[in-house]
Amino acid sequence: MARTSQRIDVHQHFMPPQWIDAAMKIEGALPSVPHWSEDEALRMMDAVGIQTAVLSLTTPGAHLGSDAAARQLTRGVNEFGAELVQRRPGRFGLFAGIPLPDVEGAVAEAVYALDELHADGVGLMSNAGGLYLGDASFRPLWQALDDRSAVVVIHPTPTPGLTDLPGAMGWVDWPFDTTRTAVHMVINGVLRDFPSVKVVLAHAGGFVPYQSGRFEALAAITPGQSAQNVHDDLRKFYFDTALSSSPATLAALIEFAGADHVMFGTDWPAAPLHPFVTDFTAGLDAYFDINPGVETQINHLTAKSVFGRVFS
C-alpha cells in the first residue's frame, strides 16, 4: 500500500510513438526501449502514491535529425503530451520538448508550448550537439524562458566524445554531464542574468551538492569568477530525488540545498518500477521516518511552489 497519495513526480518520462519511431532509426540512441502507456503510468503512480507526474522526454531528447525534422517531431511530441494532460489534468503535467541546438526552433517551440499548450515548463538535455547550456548561442532561449518565468528540467545525456566506462553504461558519466552543464551555466551567468527561470537538476544534481565547495574555491582563483557568485548561483538550482535516495545522498543534498529546493522524482519508465522505483521510494520513506519534518516539503510542497499551480 502506498504511504501517501500526494507525491508530485517531477522526473517521469513519456514515450510518444512518433518519438520512439524517430529514436529507433538512430543507432545506439535507445539502448533499450522501456514500454510506456498512459494506463501503465497511472498504475505505477498509484502503486507508489504519486498524485501527479510532470512528464518529459528522456535522452536523446527531441533533436534526432535535421533542424526541420526536429521541429516537426518536437511539435508532435508536445501536442501529444498536451492532449494527455487535458485528458488527465489532475494526474499529468508536461515539460515540453525543445529542439536544441536549433536555437531559432527552440525559441519558437518554447513560446508555443508555454503560451499555447500551457505546458508546465520545458525539458532540456544536459548538452545539445556537444554544446552545454551556458553557451552564448543559447541566450535567446534563456531570454524567452525568463520572460515567461519558466520551469526548466535538465536531464543528462551522453557526454560528447566520451565513451561509457566499460560495464557501467553511463552510471558515472551521466551525473557527470549534469554537473558539467550546471557549472557551465553558473560560470556563464545564466542564473544571474535570467533570474525568473527556475532550473531543476535531475538525479540530485549529479555531483553538484557534493563538490560545491571545490567549485567555489576554484572560482576564487579564476579570472572573471567569484566564489560568492558561484556559491549563490549553485543554490538557485532545484533538485529531484530520482535514483538518489541513499541516506548519504539525501543528507548531503538537503544540507546543501534545503528541503524547499528538493522534489520527488522516479525516472520511470527508464527506471523500472521493480526494483528501482520501489526501492528508491522506500529509501526516501526511510529517510522521512528519521526526518519527518521534510516529508511533505519534498513530496509535494516544493513542486507546488515551483510550478505555481494547483495539482489536484
Q: Residue 247 domain-assigned?
A: yes
pLDDT bracket for residue 157 (50, 70, 90): very high
- Residue 263, domain extent: 7-307
Average pLDDT over residues 227-254: 97
Average pLDDT over residues 243-251: 96
pTM of the model: 0.96
Q: Residue 312 domain-assigned?
A: no
Burial class (CB in 10 A: 0-12, 13-18, 19+), 223: exposed
Q: Residue 151 domain-assigned?
A: yes
Integer Cα distance of 110 and 148 in angstroms? 10
Collapsed DSSP state (helix, strand, coil) of residue 205: helix
Q: Residue 149 domain-assigned?
A: yes
pLDDT of residue 33: 67
The C-alpha cell of 26 is what? 538512430
Cα-based distances in Å from 103 to 117, 250, 262, 294: 20, 36, 29, 39
Backbone angles phi, psi at 123, to 5 degrees: -110, 130
When mean pLDDT is compared across 26-40, 140-154, 213-227, 269-283, the lowest value belongs to: 26-40
Residues 53 and 91 sit within 8 Å (Cβ to Cβ): yes
What are the start-end ranges of the E strands in the chain?
Answer: 7-13, 50-56, 92-97, 121-125, 127-128, 131-132, 151-155, 198-201, 238-240, 262-263
Integer Cα distance of 104 and 94 in angstroms? 21
Integer Cα distance of 293 and 58 in angstroms? 32
Q: Residue 1 domain-assigned?
A: no
Residue 231 has pLDDT above 90, yes or no: yes
Domain tally, the chain: 1
Percent of the residues in the chain that have a pLDDT greater than 70, as a whole number: 96
Integer Cα distance of 253 and 284 in angstroms? 13
Residue 23 has pLDDT above 90, yes or no: no
User: Which CATH number goes with the domain that contains 221?
Assistant: 3.20.20.140
On the CB side of 140, CA atoms within 13 Å amount to 12
The C-alpha cell of 169 is what? 553504461
Q: Residue 104 domain-assigned?
A: yes
- Closest C-alpha to 12, from 63, 60, 50: 50
Average pLDDT over residues 48-58: 97
Q: Choose between 169 and 248: higher pLDDT.
A: 248
pLDDT bracket for residue 1 (50, 70, 90): very low
Q: Residue 99 domain-assigned?
A: yes
Average pLDDT over residues 180-188: 98
Collapsed DSSP state (helix, strand, coil) of residue 67: helix
**Kind of pairing, strands 151-155 and 198-201?**
parallel
Integer Cα distance of 73 and 258 in angstroms? 38
User: What residue type is assigned to position 299 of the chain?
Assistant: N
